[in-house]
Amino acid sequence: MKIQRPGPVAVVLALLVGVFLLLPLLAVVPISFTPGRLLTLPKGSLSLTHYRTLFENPDWLASILLSARIALFTSVIATGLATSFALGIWMLQPRFSQLLVGFVLLPMIVPPVVSAMTLYFLLTGMSQVSHAIGFDSVIGVTLAHVVMTVPFAVVMVLVALAQVDRRIDLAARGMGAGIVQRIVHVILPNIGFGVATAALLVFVLSWEEIGVTLFITSVDAITLPRLMWMGLRDNVDPAVAAISVVLIVVTTLILLARMALQRRPDFEEE
Amino acid sequence: MRPRSAFWPALALTAPLVLFLAFAYALPFLGVALWSVTLPEPGVGQYERLVSDPLVLSVFLRTFRICFLVTLIAVACAYAVTYVWVRGSRMQRRLIEICIFVPFWISLLTRAFGWLALLSNRGIVNSWLQALGLIDAPLALVRNEPSVIAGMVHVLIPFAVLPLASAMRAVDERVLLAARGMGASRLRIFWSVFFPMTLPGVIGATLIVFVFSLGFFVTPAILGGGRSIMVAELVYLRMFQSPDWGLGAAISVALVVLVAALMGLLARFARLGLMGSGR
pLDDT digits (tens, 9 = 90+) for A56-101: 888 888 999 999 999 999 999 999 999 999 999 988 866 778 888 9
Domain of B229, in residue numbers: 45-277
Least confident of A218-227, B55-64, B138-147, B167-176: B138-147
Please check whether residue B70 is in contact with residue B209, taking contact to mean a CB–CB distance below 8 angstroms. Answer: yes
Q: How far apart are CA B225 and CA B218, in angstroms?
A: 11
Rounded Cα distance, A78 and A70, in Å: 12
Count how many residues are written for chain A. 270
- Residue A96 placed within a domain: yes
Domain hosting residue A156, numbered range: 64-222
| pLDDT band of B66, cuts 50, 70, 90 | very high
Q: Tell me the mean pLDDT in the region A127-149.
A: 92
Question: Nearest C-alpha of chain B: how many angstroms from A53?
Answer: 18
Query: Is residue B214 a part of any domain in this protein?
Result: yes
Is residue A251 less than 8 Å (CB to CB) from chain B?
Answer: yes
Is pLDDT at B278 greater than 90 in this prediction? no
Residues in A 107-126 with any Cβ partner in B closer than 8 A: 107, 109-122, 125
CATH number at residue A153: 1.10.3720.10
Distances (CA, A) of A135 to A14, A210, B145: 45, 15, 34
In this prediction, residue A238 carries a pLDDT of: 77
Q: Quick check: B235 pLDDT over 70? A: yes
Backbone angles phi, psi at A221, to 5 degrees: -90, 75
In a domain, A250, yes or no: no
Q: Is B239 on the interface with A (CB under 8 A)?
A: yes
Number of neighbouring beta carbons within 10 Å of residue A93: 11
Asked whether residue A56 is assigned to any structural domain, the reply reads no
User: What pLDDT band is residue A268 in, cutting at 50, 70 and 90?
Assistant: very low
Q: Is residue A248 part of a domain?
A: no
Secondary structure of B165-226 as H, E, C letters: HHHHHCCCHHHHHHHHHCCCCHHHHHHHHHHHHCHHHHHHHHHHHHHHHHCCCHHHHHHCCC
Whether B59 has a pLDDT exceeding 70, the answer reads yes
Q: Answer whether residue A267 shows pLDDT above 90.
A: no
Across the interface, do B106 and A25 touch by the CB < 8 Å criterion?
yes
Torsion-angle region of residue A44: left (phi > 0), alpha (psi -120 to 50) or beta?
A: left
Could you give the residue ranges of the DSSP H alpha helices within chain B? Answer: 7-21, 27-38, 45-52, 54-87, 90-104, 108-119, 124-131, 145-169, 173-181, 186-188, 195-197, 199-214, 218-223, 231-240, 245-277
Please provide residue A5's backbone torsions phi and psi, each rounded to the nearest 5 degrees: -85, 150
* DSSP structural state of residue A45: -
Q: In sequence order, which residues have a C-beta less than 8 Å from that of residue A207 and are 6 or more positions away?
A: A67, A68, A71, A224, A225, B107
Residue B2 has pLDDT above 60, yes or no: no
Confidence grade of residue A213 (pLDDT, cut at 50, 70, 90):
very high
Residue of B nearest to A3 (CA): B177
| Domain assignment present for B177 | yes
pTM of the model: 0.87
- Considering the domain boundaries, does residue B65 fall inside one? yes
Task: Report the SS3 class of residue A38.
Answer: coil
Tell me, what's the ipTM?
A: 0.86
Lowest mean pLDDT among A51-55, A93-97, A116-120, B183-187: A93-97
Using the CB atoms, write b or e for B233-268: b if 16+ within 10 Å.
bbbbbbbeeeebbbbbbbbbbbbbebbeebbeebee
DSSP annotation of B22 reads: I
- The number of C-beta contacts closer than 8 angstroms across A and B is 283
Instruction: Please name the member of B27, B123, B154 whose beta carbon is closest to the beta carbon of A20.
Output: B154
Whether residue A270 lies inside any domain: the answer is no
Q: Which of residues 138-177 of A touch B (CB under 8 A)?
A: 143, 146-147, 150, 154
The verdict on A88 touching B (C-beta cutoff 8 Å) is yes
How many domains does the structure of chain A reveal? 1
Cα separations in angstroms, A109 against A71, A148, B219, B259, B268: 21, 10, 18, 8, 17
H helix and E strand count, chain A: 13, 0
| CATH code at position B131 | 1.10.3720.10
Residue A4 near residue B82 (C-beta atoms within 8 A): no
8 Å CB contact of A27 and B118: yes
Position B129 scores a pLDDT of 87
Q: Within 10 Å of residue B51's Cβ, how many Cβ atoms?
A: 10
Burial-class residue A254 by CB neighbours within 10 Å (0-12, 13-18, 19+): middle
Q: Which of B117-131, B133-147, B210-224 has the highest mean pLDDT?
A: B210-224
- CB B12 to CB A210 under 8 A? no
The whole-number pLDDT of residue B1 equals: 47
pLDDT bucket at A105, cuts 50 / 70 / 90: very high
Given an 8 Å threshold on Cβ–Cβ distance, is A91 in contact with B80?
no
Residue contact B21–A31, C-beta within 8 A: no
B236 interfaces chain A, CB cutoff of 8 Å: yes
Chain B contact for A95, CB < 8 A? no
Q: How many domains does chain B have?
A: 1
Q: Which residues from chain B sit within 8 angstroms of residue A4, using beta carbons?
A: 87, 176, 180, 186, 189-190, 194
- Over range B101-127, report the average pLDDT: 86
Whether residue B17 lies inside any domain: the answer is no
How many C-beta atoms surround the C-beta of residue A22 within 10 A?
15
CB B36 within 8 A of CB B253: yes
Of all residues in chain B, the one with the smallest CA distance to A112 is: B215
Q: How far is A242 from chain B (nearest CA, A)?
A: 10
